[in-house]
Amino acid sequence: MRTIKFSTPLQDKKYFDNVKRLLDSKKSLHGPGENIFKIKKELKKQFGFEHVHLTNSCTAAMEICALMLSLKKNDEVLMPSYNYNTTASSFVRTGCKIRYCDIKKENLLPSFDDFRKNVNKNTKVIIVIHMQGLCVDYLDKLKKFCLKKKIILIEDAAPALGTYLKGKSVGSYGDFATFSFHETKNYQSGIGGLLVVNNKKFRKKSDLVFDKGTDRTYVVSDPNYHKKYYSWVELGSCFRLPELNASYLQPQIKDINKVIDYRERLFKRYYENFFNWLKDEFIICNKYKHKDKYNYHAFTIILKKKEREKFLKYLKNQKIIAFISFEALHLSKMGKKWLTKNTKLKNTNEIIKKIVRLPMHNKLSIQEVDYISKKVKDYFKK
């Protein structure tokens, strides 16, 4: 039996052929070119995203948000501590503060109350994380709450493209939403990302920050623009997804449902193998079937006992590579600086060392899911 990897790049002849087509055409590898334009058109058609930037990572998309918002020293950005570090560092590097909130034990997502309790007069931004591609079920309510309190809402939807809430795609609720096309995600460009700018007030500024802080986009594409040459007009950086990477991603965007359908089969098999079995040993964090469409990004379990390292080692000996998800930010060397005396992270502290993600990718077979499930059961039978 070969080693079963945790995730593998999405590969298909169609994707390779599209890259070759671009290379053979000798057109610009920088872009924006045909592939970028096609992806944007398809994202609008499938998800209703009107104003987007294809970036070189989800991190870059979050950094654009932070640069656009220009927060002050005492302004706060509220987010769960169970989170990816660049969601926090994107804001910290602009000089503002971050504050952590807790998550629910059963699905690793923050509750509405976790956010509400931690809001104060300095809160300027709330970041909701669609962890494991899952979406909280109160985005409407959170959006209204943020509007009332004049708080900007950002959806960090890094792994969540293809997940919906009440018939609307994730990423359509926040003022901004960020997605990742890193090769650990469902659809990939090696590294890559997407910024969705729903708040019309920020659209022009996002165009400038995105393009190295210049008005190049307007100079190049608007014949009526008042300037002939572009220049430095905002604080920005080089955030662009190169056309070369976009050529790999472009054919996948049409395949999104196909990718999800296959992942759903794998997820369902895991779920059936474990359902009603050894409930005392772990819980399955995400459900099958969801009320809304889910993109089946991850199969995550939460162990009842603190034995994660032993469990992962056992799986590795069985040639199965499982993963821990993340460490909580408030326990990290950098992230602990923002832990305040009244930050309560009871659930995060209790379960952070019990979270395990089992292999889930489009090259995994049903037989391998059965093998993994059997080995997991054997571990707990001992």
Among 19, 58, 125, 315, binds ligand PLP (CB under 6 A): 58
Q: Is there binding between residue 180 and ligand PLP (CB under 6 A)?
A: yes
Write down the least CB distance from residue 39 to ligand PLP, Å: 15
Task: Tell me: does residue 80 bind ligand PLP (CB under 6 A).
Answer: no
Which position among 182, 240, 263, 293 is part of the footprint of ligand PLP (CB under 6 A)? 182
Residue 15 or 181: the one with the smaller Cβ distance to ligand PLP is 181
Say whether residue 84 binds ligand PLP (CB under 6 A): yes
Taking contact as CB under 6 A, which single stretch among the options 1-9, 52-60, 257-265, 305-313 is the one that binds ligand PLP?
52-60
Give, as ranges, the residues between 355 and 374 that touch ligand PLP (CB under 6 A).
none
Interface region with ligand PLP, contact rule CB under 6 A, candidates 81-89, 167-175, 275-283, 352-360: 81-89
Can you tell me the distance from the alpha carbon of 209 to that of 136, in angstroms, rounded to the nearest whole number? 30
Q: Does 129 bind ligand PLP (CB under 6 A)?
A: yes
The single residue among 155, 156, 211, 234 that binds ligand PLP, judged by CB under 6 A, is: 156
DSSP 280-328: TTEEESS-SS-SS------EEEEESSS-HHHHHHHHHHTTB--B-----
# residues near ligand PLP by CB under 6 A:
13
Which residues touch 20 (CB under 8 Å, ≥6 apart)? none
Q: DSSP state, 81? A: S
Binding test (CB under 6 A) with ligand PLP, winner from 7, 35, 59, 81:
59
Contact (CB, 8 A) for 266 and 288: no
Out of 32, 33, 159, 174, name the contact with ligand PLP by CB under 6 A. 159
Contacts of 139 by beta carbon, 8 Å cutoff, 6+ apart: 128, 155, 165, 170, 173
Measured from the CB of residue 241, what is the shortest distance to ligand PLP in angstroms? 10
Chain mean position to CA 324 = 16
CA distance 320 to 316: 5
Q: How far is the CB of 74 from ligand PLP (least distance, A)?
A: 25
- The residue within the footprint of ligand PLP, chosen from 7, 18, 35, 57 (CB under 6 A), is 57
Instruction: Tell me how far, at minimum, the Cβ of 272 lies from ligand PLP, in Å.
Output: 27
Is 133 a residue that touches ligand PLP (CB under 6 A)?
no
Residue 345 DSSP SS3? coil
- Residue 87 found at the interface with ligand PLP (CB under 6 A): yes
How many beta carbons lie within 10 A of that of residue 260, not counting itself? 23
Quick one: which segment of 153-161, 213-221, 281-289, 366-374 binds ligand PLP (CB under 6 A)? Answer: 153-161
Identity of the residue, 59 or 347, whose beta carbon is nearer to ligand PLP in the bound complex: 59
H/E stretch holding 200 reads: none
Give the Å distances, CA to CA, from 179 to 133, 162, 201: 10, 11, 21
Rounded distance, CA 11 to CA 137, Å? 33
Strand order in the sheet with 123-129: 52-55, 193-197, 176-180, 152-156, 123-129, 76-80, 97-101
Candidate residues 86, 94, 172, 188; the one interacting with ligand PLP per rule CB under 6 A:
86
* Nearer to ligand PLP among residue 15 and residue 84 (C-beta): 84
With binding defined as CB under 6 A, does residue 108 bind ligand PLP? no
Beta strands in 91-187 (DSSP E): 97-101, 123-129, 152-156, 164-165, 168-169, 176-180
The amino acid at 298: A
Pick the binder of ligand PLP from 32, 80, 171, 193 (CB under 6 A).
193
C-alpha triplet 138, 139, 142: angle, nearest 5°: 90
**CA 204, CA 231: separation in Å to the nearest integer?**
15
Which of 19, 153, 158, 352 is in the footprint of ligand PLP by CB under 6 A? 158
Q: Which is nearer to ligand PLP, 274 or 296 (CB)?
A: 296
Binding site for ligand PLP (CB under 6 A): 57-59, 84, 86-87, 129, 156, 158-159, 180, 182, 193
